[in-house]
């Protein structure tokens, strides 16, 4: 009420053209600084390779089928981890979200174990599952289980009681309640959990590959490091960043997470 | 009847949680002793507990803990200074914020820790690689939460400042910053958690530094009870760290 008489001075939104110009200017400045640094000789040779060298390495990387084989290996490991860890996370999340007693008994363990560094479990995963892709899948499964379970549990608790009562008043059976009420109402937390899960599964898989493997993108990165092929390493990191950010944005957009933020 | 009594008691769920955990470890112990689980893959929990003293004294856990803590603290100080400064800068210059906020948000979802081979080339295999990875990987949430904190300052507070004819710097130090502080601390807390995860992870990966290296060392020596004990120790340290940060955040957040 106190604010009613005051007309707040809203921060000015700049026109899209000015924003685009600044973005282009910043990108150009960054590229120019990089090139100057590469040519200055201030750093060891090849630590900051020229843009042309990175561009050449990128073209070389993307034109070889070998890279796509390794990409497919990593994608397969991440996909398998998401399927196992994601489904387990959804099941545990529903269980904890639906039962207050179980939630009080076990959710704090998940809450505090969730953000611990999972890569430290890698030696254990190697003992249990061997040095092949299974240990990477296991580590990524462990990584993505926690955010999915916690998001789903929180999502279950946040379902509007009115929706549940509407379903009950229509005498919806259990299957209809799950398909028509619970799952649609929990779409955002599930998608958000999946988005977080994809991020940590990707990091878990790739870090494990850099530690011990003979295939996958992580292996290629550490191989480029060991032979000091810096342009190739930069090119691979650039592609990886674009893919990771792109997948994250896609999941957010398809899940409608961007619409929540606008409210 | 029993479950009814259990659910009515406030401490019952916690008790069930602890007892379930103990029962799980007891089951693993039995399965290992009767040979269902190979003890050369999973050591008995009793052996892991027994190895704690040895790991703590012989592997200099306290010194390693201090080294990891110092790396996290350095990364934490850097990301607090640069993260808040970046957030303030972007809040102050709206054009910069409009141009770069989505980039920072995108960077928050990028697997920055995978750049550790690159950082090893730039900084060498030393603590600065670990600190810089911790710093860079944890920077985006601090910047984003700082912007959010300033943007969420209640209009009425800003207008009170205007009506008192506060200067721009007085407005910042007396109104904007105190109002944004709880949200900024959420960002710092997230940043410190990311820093800890990345510091321990990179220590493990490059086999250098404190607690992360300890796990790698013990695993390479095939000291299984020691490896499990070290992992348990790192988890306990992480959990206590998160709990302490939560306490500080609750203390900062107004009711």
The residue ranking higher by pLDDT, B166 or B30, is B30
User: How many other C-beta atoms lie within 10 A of the C-beta of residue A110?
Assistant: 19
Q: Write out pLDDT tens, residues A135-153.
A: 999 999 999 999 999 998 9
Average pLDDT over residues B33-40: 90
Residues in B 51-90 with any Cβ partner in A closer than 8 A: none
The residue ranking higher by pLDDT, A258 or B129, is B129
Q: Is B121 on the interface with A (CB under 8 A)?
A: yes
Q: What are the tokens at B240?
A: 């206590």
The residue ranking higher by pLDDT, B8 or A149, is A149
Please answer whether residues B176 and B202 qualify as being in contact, where contact means their C-beta atoms are separated by less than 8 angstroms.
no
Distance of residue A43 Cα from the nearest chain B Cα, in angstroms: 8
pLDDT band for position A1 (cuts 50, 70, 90): very low
pLDDT of residue A40: 83
Please answer whether residues A139 and A122 qualify as being in contact, where contact means their C-beta atoms are separated by less than 8 angstroms.
yes
Q: CB under 8 Å to B254, separation ≥6 — which residues?
A: B182
Distance of residue A180 Cα from the nearest chain B Cα, in angstroms: 30
Contact at CB, B94 and A12, closer than 8 angstroms:
yes
Q: Write out pLDDT tens, residues B183-194.
A: 899 899 999 999
Instruction: Reply yes or no on whether the pLDDT at A261 is more than 60.
Output: no
Instruction: Reply yes or no on whether the pLDDT at B47 is more than 70.
Output: yes
Q: Write out pLDDT tens, residues A40-96.
A: 877 776 788 889 999 999 999 999 889 999 999 999 999 999 999 999 998 899 889
Instruction: Reply yes or no on whether the pLDDT at B202 is more than 90.
Output: yes
pLDDT of residue A184: 84
Contact at CB, A115 and B17, closer than 8 angstroms:
no
Average pLDDT over residues B44-61: 90
In chain B, residues with a C-beta closer than 8 Å to the C-beta of A108 are 17
Q: Write out pLDDT tens, residues A112-124.
A: 888 888 999 999 9
pLDDT band for position B203 (cuts 50, 70, 90): very high
* Residue in chain B nearest A199 by alpha carbon: B109
Judged by average pLDDT, the poorest of A259-263, B77-81, B219-223 is A259-263
In chain B, residues with a C-beta closer than 8 Å to the C-beta of A117 are 196-198, 200-201, 204, 212, 234, 238
pLDDT of residue B8: 61
Q: What DSSP line would sit under B113-134, residue for residue? A: GGGHHHHHHHH-SSHHHHHHHH
Q: What is the mean pLDDT of chain A?
A: 86
Number of H helices, E strands in chain A: 13, 0
Q: Is B200 on the interface with A (CB under 8 A)?
A: yes
In chain A, residues with a C-beta closer than 8 Å to the C-beta of B96 are 22
Contact at CB, B219 and A123, closer than 8 angstroms:
yes
pLDDT of residue A188: 81
Average pLDDT over residues B61-87: 94
Distance of residue B30 Cα from the nearest chain A Cα, in angstroms: 18
Q: What are the tokens at A195?
A: 């988005």
Nearest Cβ partner of B155 from A3, A123, A240? Answer: A3
Q: What percent of chain B has pLDDT over 90?
A: 47
Average pLDDT over residues B99-113: 87
Instruction: Reply yes or no on whether the pLDDT at A8 is more than 70.
Output: no
Number of H helices, E strands in chain B: 12, 0
In chain B, residues with a C-beta closer than 8 Å to the C-beta of A11 are 94
* Residue in chain A nearest B151 by alpha carbon: A11
CA–CA distance, A230 with A228 (Å, rounded to integer): 6
Distance of residue A133 Cα from the nearest chain B Cα, in angstroms: 18
Nearest Cβ partner of B231 from A47, A121, A241? Answer: A121
Nearest Cβ partner of B99 from A22, A116, A228? Answer: A22
Q: Is B243 on the interface with A (CB under 8 A)?
A: yes
pLDDT of residue A256: 59
pLDDT of residue B124: 86
Q: Is A112 on the interface with B (CB under 8 A)?
A: yes
CA–CA distance, B144 with A193 (Å, rounded to integer): 20
Q: Write out pLDDT tens, residues A9-49.
A: 455 677 778 888 999 999 999 999 988 888 887 777 678 88
Please answer whether residues B139 and B191 qualify as being in contact, where contact means their C-beta atoms are separated by less than 8 angstroms.
yes
Q: How many CB pairs under 8 A join A and B?
A: 152
- In a mutational test of the A interface, the residue from B11, B37, B98, B193 whose CB has the highest number of chain A CBs within 10 Å is B98
pLDDT band for position B1 (cuts 50, 70, 90): very low
Q: What are the phi and psi torsion angles at B167 (to 5°)?
A: -75, 170
Helices (H), B45-126: 45-58, 61-92, 94-108, 116-123
Please answer whether residues B161 and B174 qualify as being in contact, where contact means their C-beta atoms are separated by less than 8 angstroms.
yes
In chain A, residues with a C-beta closer than 8 Å to the C-beta of B115 are 237
Please answer whether residues B200 and A117 qualify as being in contact, where contact means their C-beta atoms are separated by less than 8 angstroms.
yes
Please answer whether residues B224 and A114 qualify as being in contact, where contact means their C-beta atoms are separated by less than 8 angstroms.
no
Instruction: Reply yes or no on whether the pLDDT at A6 is more than 50.
Output: no
pLDDT of residue A9: 47
Average pLDDT over residues B109-115: 87
pLDDT of residue A259: 53
């Amino acid at each position: 009420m106190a604010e009613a008489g005051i007309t707040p001075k809203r921060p000015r939104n700049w026109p899209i053209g000015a924003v685009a110009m600044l973005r282009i200017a910043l990108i150009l400045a960054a590229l120019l600084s990089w090139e100057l640094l590469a040519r200055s000789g201030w750093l060891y040779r090849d630590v900051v390779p020229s843009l042309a060298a990175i561009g050449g390495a990128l073209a070389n990387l993307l034109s070889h089928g070998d890279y796509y084989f390794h990409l497919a290996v990593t994608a397969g490991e991440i996909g398998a981890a998401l399927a196992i860890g994601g489904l387990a996370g959804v099941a545990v999340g529903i269980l904890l979200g639906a039962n207050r007693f179980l939630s009080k008994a076990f959710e704090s363990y998940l809450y505090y174990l969730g953000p611990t560094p999972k890569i430290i479990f890698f030696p254990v995963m190697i003992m249990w599952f061997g040095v092949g892709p299974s240990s990477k899948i296991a580590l990524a499964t462990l990584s993505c289980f926690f955010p999915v379970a916690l998001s789903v549990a929180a999502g279950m608790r946040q379902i509007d009681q009115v929706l549940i009562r509407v379903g009950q008043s229509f005498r919806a059976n259990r299957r209809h309640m799950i398909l028509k009420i619970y799952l649609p109402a929990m779409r955002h937390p599930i998608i958000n959990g999946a988005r977080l899960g994809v991020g940590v599964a990707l990091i878990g898989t790739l870090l494990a590959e850099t530690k011990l493997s003979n295939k996958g993108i992580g292996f290629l990165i550490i191989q480029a490091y060991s032979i000091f092929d810096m342009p190739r390493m930069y090119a691979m990191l650039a592609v990886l960043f674009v893919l990771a950010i792109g997948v994250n944005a896609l999941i957010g957009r398809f899940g409608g997470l961007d619409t929540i933020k606008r409210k | 009847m029993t479950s009814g009594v259990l659910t009515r008691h406030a401490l019952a769920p916690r008790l069930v949680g602890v007892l379930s955990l103990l029962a799980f470890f007891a089951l693993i112990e039995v399965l290992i002793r009767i040979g269902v689980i190979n003890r050369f893959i999973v050591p008995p929990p009793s052996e892991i507990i027994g190895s704690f003293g040895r790991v703590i004294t012989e592997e200099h856990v306290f010194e390693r803990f201090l080294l990891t803590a110092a790396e996290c603290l350095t990364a934490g100080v850097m990301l607090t200074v640069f993260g808040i400064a970046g957030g303030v800068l972007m809040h102050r210059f709206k054009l910069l914020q409009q141009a770069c906020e989505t980039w920072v948000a995108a960077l928050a979802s990028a697997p920055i820790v995978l750049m550790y081979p690159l950082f090893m080339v730039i900084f060498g295999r030393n603590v600065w690689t670990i600190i810089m990875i911790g710093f860079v990987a944890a920077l985006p949430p601090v910047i984003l939460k700082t912007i959010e904190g300033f943007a969420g300052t209640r209009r009425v507070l800003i207008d009170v400042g205007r009506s008192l004819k506060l200067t721009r710097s007085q407005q910042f130090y007396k109104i904007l910053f105190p109002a944004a502080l709880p949200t900024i601390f959420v960002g710092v807390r997230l940043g410190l958690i990311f820093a800890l995860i990345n510091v321990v992870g990179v220590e493990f990966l490059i086999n250098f530094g404190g607690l992360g290296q300890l796990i790698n060392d013990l695993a390479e020596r095939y000291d299984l009870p020691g490896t499990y004990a070290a992992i348990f120790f790192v988890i306990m340290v992480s959990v206590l760290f998160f709990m302490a940060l939560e306490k500080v955040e609750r203390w900062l957040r107004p009711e």
